[in-house]
Amino acid sequence: MGKLFPNQSFGVNILKHEELPILKSHEFDFFRCIEFKDNYYGKTVSALHEGNLRVSKRDNRYSNLFPGQKLSYWADCPQTARTEIKKWGSGNNILTFWAYDDGSSFVPTIYPAESLRIIDGIHFEFDKILKKVGNHEDLTNDEKEIIDRIGYEKPDCLAYKSEAKEGGVCFLFFENGFKKLSLREVSLRLGDKKGKNTAKVICASGSDYTPTLARYGYYFSPIAKVKYNDSYIESDEYILRKQVEDYSHEKIVRRMR
């Protein structure tokens, strides 16, 4: 029981792999900021979130750790996330995603509701190998074997120190881990615009992450307004998540009997 990362709730179980720098735990909040562009108007929250998972490129940080992976970069707090994109020249129009590990929700919408498997690149000296990977330096055979063994465990994400914000922690999600994330909130701030320049969509509420799935169908319209796409509830994503949500409610009812 404890807390190793600033974006994790206190008092949750943290399981450590016997030999590898891998943790298994839950109840996290994650934040990702991107520069908002005009072509994002009209895209549902669902589509915008889906765009956070991208094909990796050689110059992406740690993208060569496990070849052939789609990646998504997140942070421990909004400040770290904003500082990270500002480091790479982002403007003042910023879209912020606030996500959580779905398995921590009182009503999960992804099956099965599992804890996250996290490569800890901060506390167990794996950061030495990470630095070499980040600098594209040659690894020893032993280091390559460690990475292969970690990959065999199918981790969800990698935790590492932010270089943009002192004390900040970043999380590199791999595709299987990204699919375990659900949205709590998506907020828009158009810093280059005067007047009403902020808007927000809340997809889950409360300390137990109670979801409202239909809200993934909202979208932003000029200048900072929120509208709804009625067709979202006919999408595969909504239908599948709704099935799991209904199943989760049934389990709660059974436990209360």
- The angle at the Cα of 199, spanning 194 to 201, to the nearest 5 degrees, equals 170
Report the pLDDT value the prediction gives residue 212, as an integer from 0 to 100. Answer: 97
Report the pLDDT value the prediction gives residue 92, as an integer from 0 to 100. Answer: 95
Q: What number of other Cβ atoms are within 10 A of residue 40's Cβ?
A: 17
- Spell out the per-residue pLDDT of the chain, length 257, in tens: 567 899 999 888 999 999 999 999 999 999 999 999 999 999 999 999 999 999 987 777 888 888 888 999 999 999 999 999 999 899 999 999 999 999 999 999 999 999 999 999 998 888 889 889 888 889 999 999 999 999 999 999 999 999 899 999 999 999 999 999 999 999 999 998 888 899 999 999 998 999 999 999 999 999 899 999 999 999 999 999 999 999 999 998 888 77
Report the pLDDT value the prediction gives residue 67, as an integer from 0 to 100. Answer: 84
Residues pairing with 201 in the sheet: 186
The owner of tokens 């032993």 is 142
- The domain spans of the chain are 15-256
Query: Buried b / exposed e across 76-101, counting CB within 10 Å, b at 16+?
Result: bbbebbbbbbbeeebeebbbbbbbbb
Structure tokens at 226: 């929120």
Report the pLDDT value the prediction gives residue 169, as an integer from 0 to 100. Answer: 96
Q: How many residues comprise the chain?
A: 257
Report the pLDDT value the prediction gives residue 135, as an integer from 0 to 100. Answer: 86
